[in-house]
Amino acid sequence: MEKNRFKNLALKSHMLEVIHSLNFKQPTEIQEKAIPAILQGKDVIGQSQTGSGKTHAYLLPIMQMIDEDNQTVQFVITAPTRELARQIYDEIRHMIALMNKEHQWFIRLLVGGTDKERLKEKLKRPPHIIVGTPSRILDFINEGVLSIYQAKSFVIDEADLMFDLGFIKDVDRLLVRCREDIQVLVFSATIPDKLSHFFKKYLKNPSHIKVAKQLSPETMEHLLIAKRHRNEAEIIFEISKVIQPYLAIIFTNGKEEADLLGQELIQRGLNVGILHGGLQPRVRKRIVNDIQNLRYQYIVATDLISRGIDIEGISHVINAQLPKEEHFYIHRVGRTARINMEGTAISIYDDSDYSLLEKLERKGLTFRYVDVRNKTFVEAKHWDRRKRRRRKKSQSVDQEAWSYVKKPKKVKPGYRKKMKKQQEQIKKKLQSKNRKRNHRR
């Protein structure tokens, strides 16, 4: 029987009991490398893919380092969205509940959409840990009801999204209010180069922990469906007749697209929830609770929510519109096939997506090209073959047009330019004729 490697990470008995209660068998790679470094007081930059156990990689050592007799804020955990902050907060509360009752640890959640005056009263007793969004934590500090100067460690979770959303400026404002020797812990699936200046400013000889990862799990299947003048709702409704998802998340490239697609799918009879950053805080909270209570079978969402909230049990990811950047595709599909579970990513694509698909395939991602007909997936042609076929067809039109060009008997200056112009005019007529012929078919 394999020995539990958590015992080799300098974790104390009460933390090992929590780990046992959480039913963690062995540490993940990021946990095995990060926990000892954090307990040694080192600054850490931890990079590993979604679902690799990053959150517990910093929660376990942080909770071990709490000094119950010290009534000051000892640990600050920041997250880019209130949903992710709430999930981290709930996980800490869960871990505290699993501990021996002799441990009296206090934690506060500081996010928008909550009763500010009530929180001010509660903060009169400083918590050991605060979890929140940078802007909200900053609000309470500026109002003089909270101090983080004595904090031992400062966590920046989902650092890439924090940077993308511009929240790193608020993180900067928080860190200047901390003591100079504070331990800074940065965790993210990707680490943008643009964060290097920030790291140099606040991190001292950090341990860089990068867990080598595949582009996507081996247990995930990637399907591509050509749009071909259909709308996304029509295709996704047909897809719904093929798959039976435990939970499917459907990504769009914007809030308006999410609202429109969600309503169209609801009208077609699908059980759909809509989730994006444009919703009112109370609505967002209710929908997140409904998702966790398995009220919906489909969720239409944006990238902001996809990276700012952890939703369990996603069996399918559907890209109604593909993103423009490779890392967004990886973040999206990383919502499924987690912890060795199987998952399926289905993407609707058109001509504008060729560049992205080419980059992903060049990096080793394997797609299966299908269409959906009669409640089943049928094989379809590779996007590049279709592209080449169109290119070849275009070339044949060029050749046909050239055959109609009148060649001058005498060569005069500028004759090539005139012939080329004549060819383009004939080509336009031929293309127009072909379109009309295809339309009649």
Element (H, E) at 110: strand 107-110
Question: Phi and psi for 328 in degrees, rounded to 5?
Answer: -70, -40
Distance CA 191, CA 213 (A): 14
Mean pLDDT per block of 10 residues along the chain (441 residues) reads: 76 90 89 94 88 88 92 94 89 87 82 84 92 95 94 93 87 94 91 86 92 64 91 95 90 93 95 88 84 89 72 87 86 69 86 89 87 91 61 59 66 68 77 64 48
pLDDT at site 341:
59
Cβ contact 114:137 at 8 Å? no
Tens-place pLDDT, residues 375-410: 899 998 876 655 555 554 555 666 667 667 676 666
Reduced to 3 states (helix: H, G, I; strand: E, B; else coil), residue 150 is: coil
Tens-place pLDDT, residues 318-348: 999 999 888 788 878 877 755 555 688 999 9
DSSP 183-238: EEEEEES---GGGHHHHHHH-SS-EEEE----SS-TTEEEEEEE-TT--HHHHHHH
pLDDT at site 389:
53
pLDDT at site 1:
43
Q: What is the DSSP letter of 407?
A: P
The mean predicted confidence, pLDDT, of the chain is: 85
pLDDT at site 114:
77
pLDDT at site 288:
83
Distance CA 436, CA 441 (A): 9
Domains of the chain in start order, with CATH, are: 5-210 (3.40.50.300), 220-380 (3.40.50.300), 396-436 (no CATH)
Strands 298-301 and 376-379: unpaired
pLDDT at site 390:
53
